[in-house]
Structure 1
Amino acid sequence: MPRSFDNRFAVRWTSGVLVIFALLGFGFGSWLGRIPALRDHLGASTLEMSWFGLSLALGSLTGLVFSGRTVSWLGPRRTLVIGIIGQTLMLPAAATLFWVDATAPAIACLVVYGLMFGTSDVAMNVSGAGAERALGKPRMPLLHAAYSLGSVSAMGVSAISESAGIIVPVHLGATYALILIVSIFALPNLPRGNFEDSASESLPNVHTGPIPVTPATGGVPTPGARYSPWREPRILVIGLIAMSMALAEGTASDWLPLALADGRGFANESAALTLGVFFVSMTLVRIAGSWLLIRFGRVRVLRGGAILVIVGLVFVILVPFAWASVVGAVLWGVGCSLGFPVGISAAADNQATATRDVAAVSAIAYTAFLLGPMGIGFLGEHLGLLQAFWPLAAFSVFVFIMARAAREPRQGSGSTH
């Protein structure tokens, strides 16, 4: 196959999965942006709303647990086709059922939506890692920047919809109809099979069941033993690195405005604006992430990020001035921005087992997104939210110490680009 053809294929693949990242971010952000309107319509208490969130989290975790087998069986593209169609049906249906006070079936739809979303999230990360390999350049930070931009854009559209009096079922129905239409044009740019098949003609297809390996091969399939990423120390460490940075990101998203309002006396508007600064900082670094990784490498990027998170936390927790909280939010956002994308890239280093490895790392990391902030909230109830942020510093120290697990593979090791 000519090199120019390979490059065009890789560019189309990367562009297609970039659009999918933005679309899924836009869809989930649209749901988050309309939760206040849904709460007001239902007259639901905070506890009742937390049950809705737990239902979605339960579905997402179920999807994440089985995503390795699902994506290996169907391939990322077919998984995304099914997942996006499922989301298009389930979330507007849940909103409609909530709107007519059919709470039980609405929660059931929300669980299925979470399952479809969690599985699709892993599938797009698997495909993104494959596109990055085919292109031969770091692209995961840019893909996650697209997801962040999609989410932020959805918040703006949600605010406009709220002002215009558009009810939640209509808004989400129109949103997912648009996502489905755009996906029809983006998904054909992704290869049909697993990216192991598309990135190299020399490797066999990935099995739908466990991949056979022997310890002596370092993860290269051979007849005999049964491969599981959950028994691979390097994959587990990479998963914990991604989880640690995901926990820092998710905690800021859920608790930073409230912590600043309660602990620093910020007005609600100022606290929300500070969170916006956090997201902008994180997104800008993700846009520049490919250059940073080429220039400094994964290990130094991870260690530098861990240091910045710790310094940002010190500013936010200990320095009782508004300017320090804003500076801390910037450092915090910059520091945690590349941890998850780097973890996904590192998980895909072994081309023969990459689908299962990426799925495992994603599952570990997204567990932090879904459940970690709840733990921070529990600590905040007893210690105060600002003091509850200290465990994030401990996780950052772990990232600093263990960053070498994510280092780029040596040339000639069998898992290079």
Structure 2
Amino acid sequence: MQAKAARRVVSAIFFMCGTFVGLWASRIPDIKAATGLDESGFGVLLLVMACGAFVAFPFTGHWVDRLGAAPVAKFLAAATAASFLAVGLAPTTPLLTFTLFLAGFSFGGLDVSMNGWGAEVETSLSRPIMSSFHGLYSLGAGLAAAAGGFAIEFGLTVSEHFSLWAACSTPFLVWFYRQPWPKAETASETKKKAPLFAVPKGALVLVGLMALCAALGEGAVTDWAALYQIEDLGYSEAIAPTAFTVFSIAMVIMRLSGDKVIARFGPVPVARISGVVAFAGCLLLISGINIWAVWAGCFIMGLGYAVLFPLAMSRAASDQHMSKGVALASVATLGYGAFLFGPPVLGFVGDAFSLRVSFGVVALLTLALPFLASALKVRA
């Protein structure tokens, strides 16, 4: 019974973690405008946020080993809420830079610890449930982005929007903090920690590249879709967050149904079709024929990208030539690296050419996914 209750708690924190992403994505145009930075300059701010997350990874691993995943997740959930509130209230660009580093650090640490807690609950229940956690994460991101559109429509400033969101989150954080969960006993294998920056080998190189391409596509839509609609296509700022909302909705739909689809058709065919679908969505987004085509492109991209990262992680866990920890670490490093550091690079491309060209780069990388899919097959 405790594990079932813990599943609800972990589901809630995944959902809340998604709202951090949606909140941030919906107000990126306003925050960028307030700084007066171009795409390259704002890309540097995104890079600072990414660096904060990467710095957090080894620290969080140490804290989880000593204190347990649940206590660390509880602390970092509150820290992430506070740091994002600080982002919304930052009055100057230097202070914004500092708060973005803190937000990246706390968010990156929360991502690691909540996945650790989710894995403990999954073990207790003896059945796979991680996909549903990530589906709720996407649901939270989409709803928060949609709320961001309403906040813009009603004229809320960034500071007012972030403050209102923090006030609404506080009761949940109090409830979340009070939920019990026993610290997992330290297994003998935990003393042999997988290296933080492990390098994939053999077929896992292709699997890692698949995770990279999928994560880059997701990061591109998160950070640049709204600005692309405003600056390149000339659409209203109030409706720009809708693209990320429909993308997240598609991710939710596919992630919640992905396990059944993969079980029926197999990982390789699903990955190949997913790559083709994601590429078609990229082409629609790039075309910019009208706002409906842009939104449809984002929705189709969400359907295509949704299961690729989970498939890559599953393949890494079953690799027969590397230990599970090292294999997972190597693939996760490429995936998280692309999600965190890819958007700033796309910002530099957008500044040199246009954000349409940036999404063209994403489309070219997506085109490689059907060819990388065969690496998902586990060979004896």
What range is the shorter-chain TM-score in? Answer: 0.7 to 0.9
- Structure 1 Cα separation of the partners of residues 295 and 82 of structure 2: 40
Unaligned runs of 5+ in 2: none
Equivalenced residue count is: 374
Q: Distance in 2 between matches of 1:260 and 1:169?
A: 23
8 Å Cα contact 2:142/2:246 also seen in 1: no
Q: CA contact under 8 A between 1:244 and 1:399: conserved in structure 2?
A: yes
Distance change (3 Å), C-alpha of 1:404 and 1:209: same
1:273-315, Cα deviation, whole Å (9 max, x unpaired) = 4443333222222222232222223222222111111222334
The residue aligned with 1:128 is 118
Q: 1:67 to 1:244 in 2, by over 3 A?
A: farther
Write the distance in 1 (CA, Å) between the matches of 2:199 and 2:324: 13
Amino acid aligned to 1:77: A
Per the alignment, residue 35 of structure 2 pairs with 44
Moved more, 125-134 or 110-119: 125-134
CA distance in 1, matches of 2:286, 2:169: 40
Superimposed CA distance per residue, residues 112-157 of structure 1 (whole angstroms, 9 cap, x where no aligned partner)? 3321210221222344345445545543332122112212333355
Query: Which of the residues 141, 151, 168 maps onto 2:141?
Result: 151
Deviations 1:154-189 (A, max 9, x none): 335556667486735643542452342232255x35
Q: Say yes or no: does 1:140 pair with 2:123.
A: no
Q: CA RMSD in A?
A: 4.0
Which structure ranks higher in relative contact order (CA pairs < 8 Å, sequence separation ≥ 6)? 2
- Select which of 246, 249, 254 maps to 1:280: 249
Distance 1:232 1:75 in 2: 31
* Distance in 2, Cα, partners of 1:320 & 1:87: 38
Identity %: 26
Indicate whether 1:339 and 2:308 are aligned.
Answer: yes
- For 1:155 and 1:398, the matched residues in 2 are separated by 29
CA contact (8 A) 1:313 1:393 kept: yes
Q: Which residue of 2 aligns with 1:62?
A: 55
Cα distance, 1:325 vs structure 2: 4.2
Q: Return the offset for 1:52.
A: 4.5
CA deviations over 1:358-399 (Å, ceiling 9, x no partner): 454333222222221222233334444334333334433443
In structure 1, what is the Cα distance between the partners aligned to 2:303 and 2:329?
25
Matched residue, 2:190: 207
**Residue 177 in structure 1 maps to residue 170 in structure 2:** yes
Q: 1:56 to 1:11 in 2, by over 3 A?
A: same
Task: Determine whether 1:248 maps to 2:213.
Answer: no
Q: Is the 8 A contact 2:25 2:223 kept in 1?
A: no
Measure the CA separation in 1 of the matches of 2:196 and 2:37. Answer: 44
Cα distance in 1 for residues equivalent to 2:16 and 2:102: 19
Distance 1:365 1:390, change over 3 A: same
Is 1:142–1:289's contact at 8 Å kept on the other side of the alignment? Answer: no
TM-score normalised to structure 1 length: 0.72
Q: CA deviation at 1:256?
A: 3.3
- Does the aligned pair in 2 maintain the 1:251–1:376 contact within 8 Å? yes
- Secondary structure of 1:389's counterpart equals helix
Residue 43 of structure 2 contacts residue 345 of structure 2 at CA under 8 Å; is this kept in 1?
no
Q: For 1:46, what is the secondary structure of its paired residue?
A: coil
Instruction: Name the CA distance, whole Å, in 2 between partners of 1:133 and 1:372.
Output: 33
The answer as to 2:361 corresponding to 1:378 is no
- Greater Rg, structure 1 or structure 2? 1
Q: Is the 8 A contact 2:118 2:130 kept in 1?
A: yes
SS at match of 2:50: helix
Residue matched to 1:310: 279
Within 2, Cα distance between the matches of 1:365 and 1:309?
17
Say yes or no: does 1:292 pair with 2:261. yes
1:228–1:74: structure 2 CA closer, same or farther, 3 Å change rule?
A: farther
Alignment-mate amino acid for residue 144 of structure 1: H
The Cα shift of 1:340 comes to 2.2
1:366 to 322, 336, 357: 336
- What one-letter code is carried by the residue in structure 1 that aligns with 2:255? R
CA distance in 1, matches of 2:334, 2:104: 16
After TM superposition, the score normalised by the length of structure 2 is: 0.78
Whole-Å Cα distance in 2 between the matches of residues 111 and 319 of structure 1? Answer: 33
Cα distance, 1:237 vs. partner? Answer: 4.0
Segment drifting more, 139-148 vs 304-313 = 139-148
CA contact (8 A) 1:140 1:342 kept: no
Whether 1:402 aligns to 2:372 is yes
Cα distance in 1 between the residues matched to 2:234 and 2:19 = 32
Question: For 1:247 and 1:339, how far apart are their aligned partners in 2?
Answer: 12
User: Structure 1 pair 21/235, CA: closer, same or farther in 2 (3 Å)?
Assistant: farther
